[in-house]
Amino acid sequence: MSSQLRTRRPSSSRSAMADAFSPPAPSPLAADDLADARLAPWPSSPSPWPAPSRGGGRGARRANPLFTILPVSALAIGLVLLVAVAVILLVTRRARPRKKKMDAAADDDDKPGAATTSSSCGSNNDGRCGGYANAGAAGCIYAGRLGFSTSAPGPKRMSRGAQVFTYRELERATEGFNEGNVVGKGAYGAVFRGRLADGTPAAIKRLRLDHRRQGEREFRIEVDLLSRMDSPYLVGLLGYCADQSHRLLVFEFMPNGSLKSHLHPPSATASPPLDWQTRLGIALDCARALEFLHEHTSPAVIHRDFNCSNVLLDHNLRARVSDFGMAKVGSNKADGQVVTRVLGTTGYLAPEYASTGKLTTKSDVYSYGVVLLELLTGRVPVDTQRPPGQHVLVSWALPRLTNREKLVQMVDPALKGQFALKDLIQVSFLLCSICYFQQVAAIAAMCIQTKAEYRPLMTDVVQSLIPIAKPNPGMSCSSTPLTPALQHVIFMSSQCGDKAAA
């Protein structure tokens, strides 16, 4: 796909670039200046060197030996320096092709589906990997504003590049922003399904003009960040339009919509509930997205609005994180914090951020814990329709997460119906699933700790989820509902947690 995309620059910027790279024109010298230069005698300073004796006659004085030693030693030093420079050049030239090869290998590892367990990009071992995009290649109009390092750890991938679109082009792509093509609505405008001129499906987000000030800010941040970051766990920015007063963002189209629409569908007629294995895959993808932002970028990026409506699902129900309009570039130190306005979504805000505005990567870890709870329980973060004591998911869940019996009652009712007890393999599958519930619950409990310093790093979360999320080919899951059997096995598996803990 990357090869299909072009980076277009406005012609004015192209000419500005040309100006920047062309050598400065020599300032014209006046004819008088030239004449003066010719006529002016070279300043005659008293020379330290004796005047050469013509003919070397008898009358010539004997040459001082110092005058021979000095030039010879200067010549020798010069030669040594020259040899040293040549050696350095030779070594760096030899080293370069090796580095290129390594980069190429990393690119191969990046290809989705590549059968590799290379951990050249940190904890990523499923073939999806990322790095910073080349800001220049990305064609970002705001390049340089955030002071990003483009040499972040991890392999570099060729940027897909953010294309610049005209309003007309996007109008055509969405059939005139036809209401029938609206796939969702956010705080700052609607998102349309569209098809670009080259046939690429896209999600086109049109910012509403009545939200110009905040919208413009978010637009700039999103273009700035997404043009530079390239990770398979983030929704890719295909381009943008800043045509007169229009502000539009063009994203990769995610055909399965948001995680929110699956976990909390507006109506019962929506798609079938996500199964446990898919939920684990989504949890791992999201953990990797945040790990990428926090630990593979420099300085670290804090998403600041991680929630289940900003997790989008592709055709395989693999997750990618979107919506970077509120993101903050923070410190990459573990205790690095930014004091900022409190923005975000109710129910997902870390307590220290909500009360003091102190934002760290650990604020995202808290929000991640809330999403994990939603995957586990199927509940929304705040639900005033529930009985007293159950309104806020975190306060209701926290004491239950480490209690095996209560945990069983917490599991999303939509999940219980998915397990069947047909044969022994299924029993062991069930037992494993219950172990996994407990392990995921333990991770969630760590992430939603009130004290930020007790929350884990996203790298730790990724490492804990990898063995759980790995699908086991020997186990299968039937769609026959058998809730009493599940309850029975849950009871039988009371020792499972102890084994897992050991």
Ligand X SMILES: Nc1ncnc2c1ncn2[C@@H]1O[C@H](COP(=O)(O)OP(=O)(O)OP(=O)(O)O)[C@@H](O)[C@H]1O
Q: What are the residues binding ligand X (CB under 6 A)?
A: 183-188, 191, 203, 205, 235, 251-254, 257-258, 261, 309-310, 312, 322-323
How many whole angstroms separate alpha carbon 311 and alpha carbon 320?
6
Kindly state the smallest distance separating residue 249's Cβ from ligand X, in Å.
9
Is 230 considered catalytic here? no
Angle between helices 276-295 and 361-377 (to 10 degrees): 180
Adjacent-strand bridge partners of 205? 191, 249
Least CB distance from residue 499 to ligand X, whole Å? 40
Q: Where are the beta strands (DSSP E) in 387-456?
A: none
User: If DSSP codes are grouped into helix, strand and coil, which group holds residue 207?
Assistant: strand
Beta-bridged to residue 313, according to DSSP, are 319
| Dihedrals phi, psi of 68, to nearest 5 degrees | -90, -40
> What is the CB-side half-sphere exposure of residue 228 using CA atoms within 13 A?
30
Shortest Cβ distance from residue 171 to ligand X (Å)? 19
Identity of the residue, 252 or 291, whose beta carbon is nearer to ligand X in the bound complex:
252
Dump the DSSP string for 241-303. Answer: E--TT--EEEEE--TT-BHHHHHS-SSTTSSPPPPHHHHHHHHHHHHHHHHHHHHSSSS-EE-
* Cβ proximity to ligand X, 131 vs 189, nearer residue: 189
Query: Would you say 129 or 203 has its CB closer to ligand X?
Result: 203
Beta carbon nearer to ligand X, 183 or 226 = 183
User: Which amino acid appears at position 261 of this protein?
Assistant: S
Q: Under DSSP, is residue 194 helix (H, G, I), strand (E, B) or coil?
A: strand
Residues 6 or more apart whose CB falls under 8 angstroms from that of 409 comprise 400
d(CA 348, CA 222): 21
Q: How far is the CB of 197 from ligand X (least distance, A)?
A: 18
Q: Which amino acid is at 436?
A: Y
What whole-number distance in Å separates Cα of residue 405 and Cα of residue 348? 26
CB atoms within 10 A of CB 116: 17
Q: CB of 391 within 8 A of CB of 384?
A: yes
Q: Cβ closer to ligand X: 278 or 438?
A: 278
- 205 labelled binding-site residue: yes
| Of 296, 276, 279, residue with least CA distance to 231 | 296
Query: Among 305, 323, 364, 412, which one carries the catalytic annotation?
Result: 305
Binding residue numbers:
205
Catalytic residues: 305
Binding residue numbers for ATP:
205
